[in-house]
Amino acid sequence: MGDDSDFDDTDSVNDPRAQYRERREHAQAQARLRYRDHLTAVLAQQGVARPDELAEVALDALTLWQYVDSGASCRCSCHPQLPDTDLHNYGRDCPCTQSKKLRSRAMQNWRNDIETLWPSPEGQRRAAADAAAKAKLIEWLTTQPAVTIHSHGGFAPEQWRGDVDGHSFKFRERHGQWGIEIDLRPSGTFIRYLAGTEPDGGDAYQMRELERGELIAYGTIGDAGYGATYVERARFIIDTIRAHLTRQTCAYHLEDLGRLDCLLGVSARWCPLCGTRLARHR
């Protein structure tokens, strides 16, 4: 969401941000090797001279973007990016590379694995742990005024919906990237989604209208406070939304901050009340 150089970059074995960053950098290094070899082969087939050198230059030109003032890497999704996980063998074995028959077989194998898992001792242990975590979430929510959670959970993506201080919200995380939208409204766009199975065993689909809102925050699962339990995730979502709402109404940083600069001895970079980064440092 911003220039990473503004934040503590301490590499600690106990720091989830450092651990996530290490995994991401390792995955991107592996992905770069594979994409370089792939691009080299494609260029060689086209008869390009020194395809390996050109592949390196092309990858740099497409995927290395930096802030002009600090030189820090920019990870905005508007730029082409190397995969930051080993999902689908870094993209080389994505379902788009498979025939419909192979995709159907993979989906059926996945369903069979799920059906085998839940009756097993491991499946029952997971179900019991999940039920206990949900019970803790329900209990915790009773202490949170003006907060309602309508739905939560899931895997790839994980999604939460609810209301915080009168604002509807949607949280979505997939492949390590999350985003929060508030003040949801119908978008006029409809999608087809898998809703079960037909009597003959085939897939059953329905249409659903998407809701859109204002994207107020996004990041990665390595962000501080992201958490691993339902309660921790709910607290992270609620705190993020309330921090945004506070910034929307705070007027302190719109005033003359000369006295604050004198007190600090340096030019203030952040509003001390709401945390907004001041325009003079953007």
Say whether both 92 and 136 belong to one domain: no
**Three-state secondary-structure class, residue 254:** helix
What pLDDT shows up at residue 21?
Answer: 81
182 located within any domain: yes
Q: pLDDT tens digits for 78-125? A: 899 888 888 889 888 888 998 989 988 988 898 899 999 999 999 999
| Cα of 137 vs its chain's centroid, Å | 22
Q: pLDDT tens digits for 138-159? A: 999 999 999 999 999 887 789 9
* Residue at token pair 């990016």: 81
Please state the rounded mean pLDDT for residues 6-19: 56
Give the integer Cα–Cα distance in Å for 277 and 71.
19
Q: Which of 153, 10, 29 is nearest to 85 (CA)?
A: 29
234 or 107, which is more confident: 234
Q: What total number of domains does the chain contain?
A: 2
Contact yes or no for 84/176 (Cβ under 8 A): yes
Say whether both 31 and 127 belong to one domain: no
Q: pLDDT tens digits for 24-74? A: 889 999 999 999 999 999 999 999 999 999 999 999 999 999 999 888 888
Give the integer Cα–Cα distance in Å for 28 and 128.
36
Say whether both 40 and 129 belong to one domain: no
Say whether both 161 and 77 belong to one domain: no
CA dihedral over 145, 146, 150, 153, signed as positive or negative: negative
Q: Which of 279, 274, 211, 281 is nearest to 244 (CA)?
A: 274
Give Dmax over CA atoms of the chain in angstroms. 75
264 located within any domain: no
Say whether both 93 and 126 belong to one domain: no
277 located within any domain: no
Q: Which of 224, 239, 229, 244 is nearest to 139 (CA)?
A: 229
Say whether both 150 and 219 belong to one domain: yes
User: Which contacts (CB < 8 Å, 24+ apart) does range 207-211 have?
Assistant: 211/170, 211/184, 211/185, 211/186, 211/187
Inform me whether the pLDDT recorded for 4 exceeds 60. no
φ, ψ for residue 133, nearest 5 deg = -65, -40
DSSP state for residue 10 in the 8-state scheme: -
> H-helix or E-strand containing 245?
helix 230-249
What pLDDT shows up at residue 10?
Answer: 46
Averaged pLDDT of the chain: 86
Inform me whether the pLDDT recorded for 1 exceeds 60. no
Say whether both 144 and 93 belong to one domain: no
Inform me whether the pLDDT recorded for 256 exceeds 70. no
126 located within any domain: yes
What pLDDT shows up at residue 237?
Answer: 98
Residue 143 belongs to domain spanning: 122-249
117 located within any domain: no
Say whether both 79 and 171 belong to one domain: no
Q: Which of 269, 272, 266, 222 is nearest to 247 (CA)?
A: 272
Please state the rounded mean pLDDT for residues 12-19: 65
